[in-house]
Structure 1
Amino acid sequence: MSQKTLSELNACGKDDFVAALANIFEYSPWIAEQAAAARPFAGVRQLFDAMKAEVDRAPFELRLALIKAHPDLANKTQRAAGLTAESDAEQNSLGLDRLSDAEYEAFERVNNAYRAKFGFPYIVSVRRHTKDSVLRDFERRLPNDAKTEMQKSIEEICRIAALRVDHLVAGDDRLQVHGRLSTHVLDTHSGRPAAGIALELIELSELGVPRLVTRATTNADGRTDQPLIGGRPVPIGRYELTFSVGKYFAERQVPTSDPPFLDQIPLRFSVSEPEGHLHVPLLVTPWSYATYRGS
């Protein structure tokens, strides 16, 4: 989808408006078509609220059709037949195009169990999750009744739609769909920010292999120039952040043992709030370190 400004969407013809927003809700252009009557929108949030209102007031049959328009997660047959570009990008962002055999079997098992019970696909906003957290969410939701799951599915569809609107529509106001993961390293031996520490962020996985998220080096302020994760939700899951402190102290000719007592410091932590700000600082000397949950 090419990005549009809110003013362009307010001014264009109805057909162009619908065409631009047709897949904000998967294969459901009727939502954009009905929301078009509420133009002009004062902001992106008002645009999204108008589309969401059409979903909320839709009859049961249309809401069920909207749910069924979504693909199963990690379904090889559906991927081969062709997903929407939006769904394909979303599933790829989670790594569903490169599952281990154990992960594929786990997704196939829960997909089949969910469809057998409810008659529609399991839906979750995958950009807010890791593969592990999706599988846990599957298991939490399977005991629900159909009415509860329909409502939960609509909530997740609206989360997906909000991220698509944020990606597609440029405006002065932004939807609150992004989180941030950051770090700050303080050299408490020298009493200053630790510049030049190489670090690596890994997403951990129970059934697959760990996935590299990013590598960075701390700047003069002991921070990274960009958030470790930013401009998107911080996926729910488990992570490991490793700091190369041995090299840092050696380059500054700080007396240490040989080999250094602390060389690579791995911090394992979990993310539970995709739209929040999670700060993972490190306070370090050649002989000790500490961390805490910041924000």
Structure 2
Amino acid sequence: MDGNAGGFYDPPHSRTRPIAMPLRTLPALPTLAQLNAADAAAFLDHLGGVFEHAPWVAAAVVGQRPFASTDALHRAMLAAVAACPEEARVALFNGHPELAGAAARLGQMTSDSVREQGGLALGALDAADGARWDALNAAYRARFGFPFILCIKRHTRATALAVFEARLANDLATELAGTLAEIGRITRLRLAERIADHGLDGLHGSVAAHVLDSRRGLPAQGLRVALHDADGALLAASVEEGCGLTLLAGAPLRMGRYELRLHLGDYHRQPGTAAGLLDVVPIAFAIDAPEAGYRFTLSVAPWAYSVACTREG
């Protein structure tokens, strides 16, 4: 392993690139064309943090410009990592903080990792949960020699823990490949945040619903639909206005169990509707494809309801 001060892999060719030249100003969110045309230093300054504590990855591909797409840029960056010897890949993996580890609790992470782990408040676990994560982190590092890495934006705490425990049973070759795949998911999302016209597809999932009042043959305007997680916490709520409603969008969905709640009692107490016996109707479901679109088609009446769900992607 190269003996640089940070302990991370620094390929010889990256040290020969003219990265100390003065920066030309790039917009806060440049286009791909602007990144293709920027000087090497500006390119590295903007994309050097995509791979955690590994600016050498961006340096390895700067000479391959222009990139026809952000996807081509991402594939080139992953290929640069995959082409490295195992020792170098492990060094890159070790640049990542542990999930819910000491760095998370102390706030000693990159801004990207703070946002990613912060989505599940992994830096603020209670003592019992913290001890469970610490035990898993220690067991995983002792077995494989690097931290457990997961694209946490695609998971709830429950599914992350389940994957964590399952992966402890893998062999080293499986974990080396699986870890690089997870880093691919993480860095794909990070690139999308850094490039205005990234054009990357398959990044986001959605949960949407359309509710019909079957008695009137019209959309159930005024019906409140709420989405809760497995613990009952409210995630999103909206009111049917006649053209359907979107409850979650713009990010990967977190795998896990959820509950859609139809507030039928309040709806049927509105003027012009018929009073019914149903109040809040819970519909439990599971999300297992974070980048898919989940579409609920519902029909309600004063004394009954029906639901169908489709998954796209």
TM-score by length of 1: 0.91
What amino acid does structure 1 have at the position aligned with 2:283? L
How far the C-alpha of 1:130 sits from its partner, in A, is 0.7
> Which of 244, 248, 259 is the equivalent residue of 2:267?
248
1:192-231 mapped onto 2 (5 Å cutoff): 192-205=218-231, 210-221=232-243, 223-224=244-245, 227-231=246-250
What is the identity, as a one-letter code, of the residue corresponding to 2:149?
I
Aligned to 1:173: 199
**Partner residue in 1 for 2:54:** 28
Moved more, 155-164 or 165-174: 165-174
The one of 84, 87, 95 equivalent to 2:121 is 95
C-alpha contact (below 8 Å) 2:260/2:284 kept by paired residues: yes
Contact 1:178 1:230 in 2 (8 A): yes
Question: Which residue identity does 1:41 align to in structure 2?
Answer: F
SS of aligned partner of 2:241:
coil
Paired with 1:2 and 1:147, the residues of 2 have a C-alpha distance of 39
Matched pairs, number? 285
Pick one of 247, 260, 263 that aligns with 2:279: 263
Q: Indicate yes or no: 2:62 matched with 1:40.
A: no
Instruction: State the shift of 1:292 in Å.
Output: 2.0
CA distance in 2, matches of 1:265, 1:76: 42
TM-score (norm 2): 0.86
Q: Is 1:274 equivalent to 2:290 in the alignment? A: yes
Q: 1:177 to 1:236 in 2, by over 3 A?
A: same
RMSD: 1.8
Q: Against the structure 1 CA distance between its residues 198 and 102, is the aligned structure 2 distance closer, same or farther, given a 3 Å change threshold?
A: farther
**In 2, Cα distance between equivalents of 1:77 and 1:25:** 17
Q: Which residue of 1 aligns with 2:11?
A: none
Q: CA deviation at 1:99?
A: 2.9
Where does residue 124 of structure 1 map in the other structure? 150
CA positional deviation for 1:172: 6.0
Shift, 1:78, TM fit? 4.6
- Residue 137 of structure 1 corresponds to 163
The answer to whether the 8 A contact 1:162-1:175 is kept is no
State the alpha-carbon separation in 2 of the partners of residues 288 and 21 from structure 1: 54
Pair 1:100–1:184, CA change in 2 (3 A): farther
Q: 1:100 offset after TM fit, Å? A: 4.1
In 2: Cα distance, 1:193 partner to 1:233 partner: 28
Q: 1:292 to 1:104 in 2, by over 3 A?
A: farther
Structure 2 gaps, min length 5: 1-26
Instruction: Tell me which amino acid in the other structure corresponds to 2:306.
Output: A
For each residue in 1:100-140, what CA deviation from the matched residue of structure 2 results, as whole angstroms up to 9, or x when unmatched?
A: 44432332222222122212110000011111110110111
Matches within 5 A, 1:52-71: 52-71=78-97
